[in-house]
């Protein structure tokens, strides 16, 4: 290896049949998530099913995003190309009978049991993930070796992990896992060199996220990159949230696209247009700005609510003082009335003809009404009114924040800033979406009115310039168009 050449480390996480192809495994990914890794978006192919397994021909898998990345990096080096050494580190979930696996199996079902089809790599990608045919667990396979097995400029490492924490240290500070042993060997071999790490694989929000955290704190890499195109999770929300955490907290670079990832790993994909277009349709970069806008909106909402509370606190204190004075007055009146009732009752008992018997009863009734009003009705009404006002204000802020987010999404795109037919359609869609939100608000405020709060609905606010108000347009949902958040 020439002096000054970077060292590339490609870590694949749980690229196994149980997660990608085995429908009988409770931890298998949805079709969209698995297809994102294995099927080129322009191929028009899809999974078929038979006997609880997804089926996909080998040619489609090799032409998919994951297959193309491995071909452009591992395959190119096996053919004598590429730049620098590539350490291919394949982390596999791997379970043997043990109390730990019994507990995990009870929670998630059987998965990735040692030596089974489900724990192995997809067959169409085995030549690229295990070009040295040295993966442990296969018949006649060699034992684990942290130094890996070299073929040309590719060093292949197969790592087994029986926990979500792939990179662990023991009590003495040494490696407590196979991955730790492999990374220690890589760091020792290339001490002082430029080490670049790329992570791909499945369960972005669990396995990938924990691995990135461990790499950031325990491995001396100059650059750590995670691919948004070649990682996946059960839902898109969980996938994006994990990437957001990696970007903002772990300071890990989130890279979109397969060709750029291949170049980072020392490969030259050339003019392979299919490799350029192999990335998934959903890019984290497209959502990063949305996350930032959402956070700004939430911060604005919180600031407004705090300001409102500062305004309300004076009114609340004045209301509490007034309620206390009113209660004291009513208590005094009640005590006096009760005392008068007792005195009148005594006089009526002595001189029944002088004082009617009904008079003490009426006075006692009035005192009871006063006391009930003091201790039950008035404080309850005041509390309900205050809570209702704050609830209404919070709901109004949340509704406004959502409308503002929709408006920003639709109206600040490059197309919207240059009016054309498409921008007009997006504006019309925004009107319909705002109408739906206004109708939902109206339903909520109607319920508040039925509870007797008597608070006015904000649906009567004037519409923003250029947008129809909720009274001017029916509450309909746009069809045949996309673009909502």
| pLDDT digit string, tens, across residues 24-42 | 999 999 998 999 999 988 8
**H-helix or E-strand containing 385?**
helix 378-411
Residue 381 pLDDT more than 80? no
Tokens (6 digits) for 266: 């020392």
Q: Which pTM value belongs to this model? A: 0.65
In this structure, what is the dihedral angle of CA atoms 283, 288, 289, 295, given to the nearest 10 degrees? 150
Q: What is the pLDDT of residue 220?
A: 84
Mean local confidence (pLDDT), 189-215: 92
**How far is 158 from 179, CA to CA, in rounded Å?**
9
User: Confidence band (pLDDT; 50, 70, 90) for 60?
Assistant: very high
What is the per-residue pLDDT across 210-264, written as a single tens digit (0 to 9) for each? Answer: 999 999 988 888 899 999 889 999 988 889 889 989 998 999 999 888 888 998 9
Which segment of 250-264, 322-336, 464-478 scores lowest on mean pLDDT? Answer: 464-478
User: Confidence band (pLDDT; 50, 70, 90) for 170?
Assistant: low
Which segment of 33-47, 297-311, 418-432 scores lowest on mean pLDDT? Answer: 297-311
Q: What is the pLDDT of residue 384?
A: 66
Out of 3.40.50.2000, 3.30.540.10, 3.40.50.450, 3.40.50.850, select the CATH number for domain 7-282: 3.40.50.850
DSSP-derived pairing of the beta strands 253-255 and 195-202: unpaired
Q: Which residues contact 391 (CB under 8 A, 6 or more apart)?
A: 448
Tokens (6 digits) for 44: 């028009």
253 beta partners: 225
Please report, for the chain, the start and end positions of each structural domain, with discontinuous segments joined by +: 7-282, 291-460
**How far is 424 from 140, CA to CA, in rounded Å?**
66
Tokens (6 digits) for 417: 């800033």
DSSP-derived pairing of the beta strands 223-232 and 195-202: parallel
């Amino acid at each position: 290896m020439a002096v000054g050449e970077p060292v590339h480390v490609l870590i694949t996480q749980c690229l196994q049949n149980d997660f990608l192809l085995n429908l009988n495994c409770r931890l298998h990914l949805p079709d969209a998530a698995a297809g994102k890794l294995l099927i080129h978006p322009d191929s028009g192919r899809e999974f078929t099913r038979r006997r609880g397994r997804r089926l996909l021909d080998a040619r489609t898998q090799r032409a998919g995003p994951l297959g193309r990345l491995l071909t452009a990096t591992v395959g190119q080096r096996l053919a004598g190309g590429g730049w620098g050494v590539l350490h291919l580190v394949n982390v596999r979930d791997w379970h043997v009978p043990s109390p730990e696996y019994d507990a995990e199996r009870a929670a998630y079902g059987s998965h990735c049991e040692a030596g089974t089809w489900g724990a192995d790599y997809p067959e169409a990608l085995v030549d690229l993930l295990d070009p040295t045919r040295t993966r442990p667990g296969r018949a006649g396979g060699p034992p684990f070796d942290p130094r890996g097995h070299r073929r040309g400029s590719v060093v292949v490492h197969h790592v087994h992990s029986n926990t979500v924490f792939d990179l662990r240290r023991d009590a003495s500070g040494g490696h407590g896992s196979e991955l730790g042993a492999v990374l220690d060997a890589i760091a020792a071999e290339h001490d002082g060199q430029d080490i670049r790490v790329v992570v791909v694989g499945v369960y972005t929000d669990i396995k990938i996220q924990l691995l990135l955290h461990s790499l950031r704190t325990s491995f001396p890499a100059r650059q750590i990159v995670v691919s948004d195109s070649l990682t996946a999770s059960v839902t898109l929300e969980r996938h994006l949230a994990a990437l957001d955490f990696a970007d903002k907290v772990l300071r890990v670079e989130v890279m979109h696209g397969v060709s750029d990832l291949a170049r980072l790993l020392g490969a030259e994909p050339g003019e392979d247009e299919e490799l350029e277009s192999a990335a998934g349709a959903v890019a984290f970069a497209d959502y990063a700005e949305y996350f930032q806008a959402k956070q700004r909106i939430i911060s604005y909402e919180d600031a407004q609510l705090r300001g409102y509370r500062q305004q309300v606190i004076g009114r609340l204190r004045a209301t509490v003082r007034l309620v206390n004075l009113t209660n004291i007055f009513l208590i005094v009146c009640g005590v006096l009335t009760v005392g008068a009732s007792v005195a009148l009752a005594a006089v009526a008992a002595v001189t029944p003809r002088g004082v009617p018997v009904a008079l003490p009863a009426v006075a006692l009734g009035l005192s009871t009404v006063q006391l009930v009003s003091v201790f039950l009705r008035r404080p309850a009404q005041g509390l309900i009114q205050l809570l209702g006002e704050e609830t209404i204000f919070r709901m109004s802020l949340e509704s406004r924040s959502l409308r503002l987010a929709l408006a920003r999404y639709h109206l600040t795109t490059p197309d919207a800033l240059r009016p054309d037919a498409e921008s007009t359609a997006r504006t019309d869609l925004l009107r319909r979406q705002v109408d739906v939100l206004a109708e939902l608000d109206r339903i909520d405020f109607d319920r508040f009115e039925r509870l007797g709060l008597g608070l006015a609905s904000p649906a009567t606010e004037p519409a923003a310039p250029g947008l129809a108000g909720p009274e001017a347009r029916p509450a309909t949902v746009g069809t045949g168009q996309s673009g909502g958040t």
